[in-house]
Structure 1
């Protein structure tokens, strides 16, 4: 999917210096075997991958389309497995390879509806029946700054409401909650919770976490 990788120049430069903050709710994984096969898709510099390893998950790996972020991940945790996605969203693995997939602040980096759907379809393929998909992502903000940039971007580029460009050049997307539910409609929703996060550019924002199970 060409669209998924077209911002790679950003993530290999400015983006590779960012700090990511979406928290992992380990209670949602309490019933998962520590020997489960876990994939951190869009792992960035491996923050979540490392946290899962530190909490006893013994078969955890990360994948990201940015070689610079993967290089940073390997430097920080040379003991863990990290893969560069060369043809995103596809990961060269057999179907049903993973028991759990985490997708943390990845959809916000994909403004296009079709590309988001292609990614979720690929994750469905990678998961075992009954496997868990744990999503954490940004929802629409109601402050004036964000409303203005949503409207400006939609008027200029005819993109979905919620797409915007950051001051340092990334094209990102905030989602209506119903959009996230629709995107995951082929899964059974297990739980969801609103959270507050600090964005990669230091703003306090509303986000949502969803836990879904493959049918």
Structure 2
């Protein structure tokens, strides 16, 4: 699907060298059993799975479209379960396979609205009723640098405001909070927190974390 697999060259190249930084707040998972089935969609090199494993969670699965990132993860943590997404967003798991799904800094890498909706629908499919979707992603920034690149990309490509190209070749998207809430409209949002993060290219940016429950 365009928007989910179309940047594989970036993530298998320069993207595979990046350090990812969105923080995992374990207090959000305080009511989740240590043996809960947890999926990290867009797991990269397994940073979040490693943190969860080190805190006692035992049933962890990670998927990513980049074979290079997955191989990096397998080298770092051979005890964890990684798989390469062959046809994103489609997952190889049966419906209602997971109690929790993590989606950290993935929507920013999926600029197209239809692809984002398809991804959220697929994650809803594999969640059990009452399961949790934990989203961390980037908001629209209001500094001159970001406003300029949003506007330039919109003029050149007719893309939604907030889509831009990084200096090293990725096409990303920053979101209005209403856009993210709309994507999760089929879920019940139980927590929303604003945070600041370092991006993969080292800039400080405003972000949000949402915890949503499948009805």
For Structure 1 versus Structure 2, the TM-score category normalised by the shorter chain is over 0.9
Secondary structure of 2:62's counterpart equals strand
Q: What residue is the counterpart of 1:97 in the other structure?
A: 97
Aligned residue pair count: 215
- Give 1:83 deviation, angstroms: 0.5
Secondary structure of 2:72's counterpart equals helix
Structure 2 residue ranges without an equivalent (≥5): none
**CA deviation profile, 1:122-172 (whole Å, cap 9, x unmatched):** 000000000000000000000000000000000100001000000000000
Q: What residue is the counterpart of 1:204 in the other structure?
A: 204
Q: What residue is the counterpart of 2:152 in the other structure?
A: 152
Q: What residue is the counterpart of 2:81 in the other structure?
A: 81
Alpha-carbon distance in structure 2 between the residues aligned to 1:93 and 1:29:
22
Alpha-carbon distance in structure 2 between the residues aligned to 1:160 and 1:190:
28
**Pair 1:164-2:164 in alignment:** yes
Secondary structure of 1:93's counterpart equals coil
- Give 1:38 deviation, angstroms: 0.1
- Give 1:3 deviation, angstroms: 2.8
Q: What residue is the counterpart of 2:54 in the other structure?
A: 54
- TM-score, with normalisation over the residues of structure 1? 0.99
Alpha-carbon distance in structure 2 between the residues aligned to 1:46 and 1:154:
33
Q: Which deviates the most, 2-11 or 32-41?
A: 2-11
Q: What residue is the counterpart of 1:136 in the other structure?
A: 136
Q: What residue is the counterpart of 2:31 in the other structure?
A: 31
Secondary structure of 1:72's counterpart equals helix
